[in-house]
Amino acid sequence: MLETKQVTKSFRSGNSTVTAVNGVTMTVADGEFVTIVGRSGSGKSTLMNLLGGLEQPTSGTIRVNSDDITRLSDSQLNDYRTRGVGFVFQSYNLIPNLDALENVMLPMELVRVSKTDRRKRARDLLNQVELTGGKQSRRPGRLSGGEQQRVAIARALANQPNLILADEPAGNLDSETADTIVELLRTLAHSQDTTVIVVTHDDEMAKRSDRTFRLIDGCLNEGGIVPQ
């Protein structure tokens, strides 16, 4: 379970302070497929970074399975990002000089999975996201946007995390490919009991999630939940 209480994140901008996330309180259960919608600049990506331990909140607590990740040391936070969370970014963020298979193997190397095991698991994951055959040995530059996003999803799943955070995963994709990616994430959540939180500005995608949170100027709407 993921639970945030009064999470706020402020940045210094010149002489003024900008509050990107303002007192967000939310709870997401295991295996839920949740979307966070909001306009550009509403604080969605910042909230995602806070949930994933990529940056620390100015105040508030974030509990993941009862552990407060805002109190973790650097190495504990590192461990949380390696084993507890899988990230899917809008611009994929694959390592350009590694092929698809090597990109998926990379997180497993960090937790010292043997080379044979990580190769086998990476192949299985790529097959699962339907990137098969010779495409697995292609570098990102020789894959389409949809294919790159599949690799990114496979990489996010590499260490079997409890939480997948996807920041605009279909933002750069055509509608058909976007549908496929969303369906893939939904299936993951429901079939593997993995919590999936997707940040999007696309209301259509939000309609396909179990729950949707709407973020306006850093604040969740009343109750935090938008009834479908």
Partner 1 sequence: MNLISRGVRNAFRSPTRTVAVVLILCLTIGLSFVMLVGQKSVENKISDTLATLGTTVNITPSGYANGSSQNNHLTTSQLKAVARLPHIVNLAEALPDGLRTGKTAAETSLLPASSGEPVGFVGTNEPTQASVIGASTLKIVAGKAIDGNGDTDEAMVSSAMAQRNHLKVGAAFHAYDTVFTIEAIFTSDTANGNDSVIVPLATEQRLSHRPGEVISAVATVDSLTNLSAATAAISMTLAPAAEGTSDVAQADQALAPLESVKSLSLYSLFGAVGTAALIIFLVMVMTVRERKREVGTMKAIGGANSSIVYQFMTEALTLAALGGAAGIIVGALTASSITSSLIAGNDKTTGSARSSTALQHLTQVHATATLPEVLIGLAGVLAIAAVGSAAASYLTSRIQPAEALRSE
Which parts of this chain interact with partner 1 (CB under 8 A)?
46, 49, 52, 54-56, 74-75, 78-79, 81-83, 87, 89, 93-98, 102, 105-107, 109-111, 155, 159
**Residue with smaller CB distance to partner 1, 32 or 99:** 99
Q: 106 vs 225, which CB is nearer to partner 1?
A: 106
Report the SS3 class of residue 115. Answer: helix
**Which parts of 52-202 fold into alpha helices (H)?**
74-79, 100-110, 115-128, 145-157, 175-192
Least distance in angstroms from the C-beta of 157 to partner 1: 12
Q: What are phi and psi of 221, to 5 degrees?
A: -70, 170
Rounded least distance, CB 178 to partner 1, Å: 22
Q: How far is the CB of 78 from partner 1 (least distance, A)?
A: 5
User: Judged by CB, which is closer to partner 1: 49, or 200?
Assistant: 49
Minimal distance in Å, beta carbon 93 to partner 1?
Answer: 4
> Residue 37's closest CA among 174, 228, 175, 183?
228
d(CA 152, CA 59): 31
State the pairing for strand pair 59-64/2-13. antiparallel
Compute how many other C-beta atoms are within 10 angstroms of the C-beta atom of residue 168. Answer: 21
63 residue type, one letter: R
Q: Which is nearer to partner 1, 29 or 111 (CB)?
A: 111
- We find the least distance from the C-beta atom of residue 29 to partner 1, in angstroms, to be 24
Closer to partner 1 by CB, 54 or 226: give it: 54
Nearest of 199, 147, 196 to residue 168 by alpha carbon = 199
